[in-house]
Structure 1
Amino acid sequence: MSSRTLSGRPVARHGWAQALVTVLGGLIVMGVVAVLGLWAAGAADLPGGSFPPVVAATVVTAVGGTVELSGDAGGLAGTEGGLTVIPLSVTLAGALVIGWGFLRPLRHRAVAGAPELAGWAARIAALWLLALLGLALAARHTFEISLGDGPLGDLGDLFGLTPVVGFSTDVPLTVLVGLVWLAGVLVVTLMVSRGAPLPAGLLRPQASVRPAAHATVRLLLVCVVIGLVIALFVAATRGHAVETFAVILLGLPNVVWLALTIGLGATWDGRVEGPFGLPMPHVLDEVLRTPDVSTLNLGTLVEHDGQKWWWLLVVDAVLLLATAFVMAASSPARVRPWQHAVHMALALALAVLMICLMARISARIGLSVLGVGDLGEGFSGQVLLKPRLGSALGLALLWGLVAGFAGALLARGARRRGGGTGH
């Protein structure tokens, strides 16, 4: 299929071949990141040839799919478990590649009709649907686990028990959520990219939406870059390089975006129990490894690890002011400071909402024999992390209003000193 500009000149084709390249590119990048991250985490040593299905399951969860844990050891034993976690490093890598592939055929355009954009997105979605089905069907495996020494091993030997643990995906839900994820990526890509063509009726609204969206996404990416630099420094100076690279390749945005919300004053509730834990820094694990659900915020971090954690507040303030300045400087000069404040507040609140929905963790696994549950710390555990959503969004709105207004005043002063008139 080809399309034409308003002047009638032909533009880049964007048909099925280009859609296939976009989808395959996203899947390959996500798969490579997942493989390297899982290898660094030690998953390559899992028994029974389970590494490829685990990779598929990781990609599935990266686009919002669900993985169900199951187990069986006859009538005398059983297992239970559940897993809800999104490896946001894998998610971010796929989103960037798919977004780039979506925009590439549309470059050098000023306007694109709604039917054209919908048709191009539909091609990508159709191929993405097939990919999701393949991944969901591949992300399932079962393998035996050793009970080892101790009470569980003795009971297993006595009754001839061989527990089998497995995982699978909810295929319909995975496909549905994966398609919603793709739609979100494509919409955000159009909103964020300054050069992406839109239907003529949306050209005026974009003047207020795109600067805020672009600046906020840039804020999130800058946070990831800062986190990457810190993680590489830690790996080079404090050892545990392999474990650090596992965090970088699987969950770096989980950590840095969590830190962003904590710097804004948000509170998360959580608990760590058993052999599992949270990614670096280690203080997160210490704060949450308590008998009951604990709170994670600036106050508890300072209490456990000193005053240095107040730097999160300072860094957030500087980053938000810079983000608001960039937003105001790239907006039309006619936009007033209070409008910048509203735009910044809404954009930051949406970003925090996304973080709260995607960075939460819920994982539990338990093994019982003869009705005796959770025997052995090595076989049972729980990780829980969830935000207090209302207060997090309220704080984001407040920070956005203040930073947006201050950034608009700074941008106005810069325009006056530079003699510019804006857009």
Structure 2
Amino acid sequence: MTSRTTSAQTVARHSWVRAVVVVLAGLVAMGAVAALGLWAAGAADLPEGAFPRVVAATVVTSVGGSVELAGAAGGLAETDAGLTVIPLSVTLTGALVIAAGFLRPLRHRAVASAAELGGWAARVAVLWLLGLLGLALAARQTFEIDLGDTLGDIGDLLGLRPEVGFTTDVPTTLLFGLLWLAGVLVLALVVARGAPLPGRLLRFQTSVRPAAYAMVLLLLAYVVIGVVVGLVVAATRGHAAETFAVLLLGVPNLVWLGLTIGLGATWNGRVEGPFGLPMPHVLDEVLRTSDVSALNLRTLSEHDGRVWWLLVIDAVLLLAAAFAMAARSPARIRAWQHALHMAVALALTVLMICLVGRISAHYGLSVLGIGDLGGGLTGELFLRPRLWSALGLAVLWGLVTGFAGALLARRVPRRGGTEDV
């Protein structure tokens, strides 16, 4: 009787209805943030009722989906376009909502079997793939490019109708969307103190869970700072719509970039033509050159000395994260072990930022092999990190702040006995 009751309770907790609620809540939240951000950016005025399709494409790209750009311009001309960017505000919103929904039926328990966790995750995954498939099929549209009065007349004469459109690579989108979901669910189980784990994995929670929690806390702290700064800018300096568009679509893109730059990392990039990076405009000033530019504390400080505050903010927040990690760890873990845990965790966090923070966009129009006839119809934007130096700096910062945070946490009451440095 007890076994049947327990089985019935498990099914109730992990029912398909609950899975539908989790997935719908995540997709609705992501769609709402994407729609508000695109509306603030002016995308609601796109022709041919394209706004819902652009919203769908934004949600698809936010989970690693692939949206392909294609162009056509008639027999005498050709277009070339490409775009790679992840709107991390939408990504973060979906991750938080889905993680919370996934963990809710598991709360107030210490242990759960691998079969139970796998079955619950499988229900969510199946419905997630169905929802993502629908979005991927809806995310396709073609736009005609306005050449202006003079070039428009020439285009009409030559039969040129330059167009650019987007469509979704469905198999790639489903693959990366599933990997994204798996990462969110695993991270939720690892970070949440009250989340149950299979018995065989319990021995890892003392080293992995506090470090993972500290890194999530660090990333969210940067997002909160970015939102506060953005709201102050919108209230005091105007351009409210542009600011809200950045907040709703890409505030983690900016603040997590700032985290790596504060560590001393360098990003290479270039801005050319009509493209531009979102605020702060100092990024655009540094990168809008005739050659590839380096984006780091030194080059940014040449335009705005206030960027050195990134170094101070990094030091304070990393020390706070290291303290939080040590305070949540058993007292038997020594300071040098905390330093190693912090170094590994920060290196993995920086690796994630470097992978998801890359930006690449280009568009070109040529007629009879002659490009940029319109003096602004061709452009390029890219931003990519110097990965290995960024990871090395993350390890160094992690070792120092991890050791210091452990020393600061020595007086905090913790379980597990006394600690030796």
Fold match, TM over 0.5?
yes
Query: Mean alpha-carbon deviation: is it higher for 237-246 or for 132-141?
Result: 132-141
Q: CA 1:161/1:9 → structure 2, altered by over 3 Å: closer, same or farther? A: closer
Partner of 1:205, secondary structure, is helix
| Runs of 4 or more consecutive aligned structure 1 residues displaced over 3 Å after TM superposition | 2-5, 7-12, 413-416
Task: Give the structure-1-normalised TM-score.
Answer: 0.95
Instruction: Kindly indicate whether the alpha-carbon contact (under 8 Å) linking 1:270 and 1:296 is maintained by their aligned counterparts in 2.
Output: yes
1:14 corresponding residue in structure 2: 14
CA–CA distance in 2 between the matches of 1:156 and 1:293?
Answer: 34
CA–CA distance in 2 between the matches of 1:375 and 1:262?
Answer: 37
Instruction: Kindly indicate whether the alpha-carbon contact (under 8 Å) linking 1:277 and 1:285 is maintained by their aligned counterparts in 2.
Output: yes
CA–CA distance in 2 between the matches of 1:344 and 1:3?
Answer: 42
State whether structure 2 residue 92 is matched by structure 1 residue 103: no
Partner of 1:204, secondary structure, is helix
User: Cα deviations across residues 167-220 of structure 1 (Å, max 9, x unaligned)?
Assistant: 101111111011000000001111110100001111121011100100110000
Cα deviation, residue 10, structure 1: 4.3
2:170 corresponding residue in structure 1: 171
Instruction: Kindly indicate whether the alpha-carbon contact (under 8 Å) linking 1:271 and 1:383 is maintained by their aligned counterparts in 2.
Output: yes
Kindly report the root-mean-square deviation, in angstroms, between the aligned alpha carbons of the 2 structures: 2.0
User: What percentage of residue pairs aligned between the two structures are identical?
Assistant: 75
CA–CA distance in 1 between the matches of 2:413 and 2:142?
Answer: 63
2:291 corresponding residue in structure 1: 292
1:365 corresponding residue in structure 2: 363
Q: Equivalences for 1:22-37 in 2 at 5 Å?
A: 22-37=22-37
User: Cα deviations across residues 279-327 of structure 1 (Å, max 9, x unaligned)?
Assistant: 1101000000001110000000111222x21111011001001110110
Q: Equivalences for 1:173-188 in 2 at 5 Å?
A: 173-188=172-187
- From 317, 335, 338, the counterpart of 1:337: 335
Cα deviation, residue 4, structure 1: 8.9
CA–CA distance in 1 between the matches of 2:235 and 2:176?
Answer: 38
State whether structure 2 residue 233 is matched by structure 1 residue 205: no
Task: Give the structure-2-normalised TM-score.
Answer: 0.95
Gaps of 5+ in 1: none
Partner of 1:118, secondary structure, is helix
1:407 corresponding residue in structure 2: 405
Query: Mean alpha-carbon deviation: is it higher for 247-256 or for 363-372?
Result: 363-372
Q: Equivalences for 1:220-299 in 2 at 5 Å?
A: 220-299=219-298
Cα deviation, residue 48, structure 1: 1.6
CA–CA distance in 2 between the matches of 1:274 and 1:341?
Answer: 45
CA–CA distance in 2 between the matches of 1:209 and 1:239?
Answer: 44
One-letter code aligned to 2:251: L
1:217 corresponding residue in structure 2: 216
Q: CA 1:69/1:231 → structure 2, altered by over 3 Å: closer, same or farther? A: same
Gaps of 5+ in 2: none
* Count of paired positions: 416
Instruction: Kindly indicate whether the alpha-carbon contact (under 8 Å) linking 1:33 and 1:250 is maintained by their aligned counterparts in 2.
Output: yes
One-letter code aligned to 1:34: A
CA–CA distance in 2 between the matches of 1:245 and 1:37?
Answer: 7
Partner of 1:332, secondary structure, is coil
CA–CA distance in 2 between the matches of 1:127 and 1:3?
Answer: 28
Instruction: Kindly indicate whether the alpha-carbon contact (under 8 Å) linking 1:275 and 1:377 is maintained by their aligned counterparts in 2.
Output: no
Cα deviation, residue 375, structure 1: 2.5
User: Cα deviations across residues 237-264 of structure 1 (Å, max 9, x unaligned)?
Assistant: 0000000000000000000000000000
CA–CA distance in 1 between the matches of 2:301 and 2:3?
Answer: 58
Instruction: Kindly indicate whether the alpha-carbon contact (under 8 Å) linking 2:147 and 2:374 is maintained by their aligned counterparts in 1.
Output: no
Instruction: Kindly indicate whether the alpha-carbon contact (under 8 Å) linking 2:74 and 2:159 is maintained by their aligned counterparts in 1.
Output: no
Q: CA 1:9/1:131 → structure 2, altered by over 3 Å: closer, same or farther? A: closer
Cα deviation, residue 368, structure 1: 1.3
CA–CA distance in 2 between the matches of 1:361 and 1:58?
Answer: 14
1:129 corresponding residue in structure 2: 129
One-letter code aligned to 1:224: V
CA–CA distance in 1 between the matches of 2:239 and 2:366?
Answer: 34
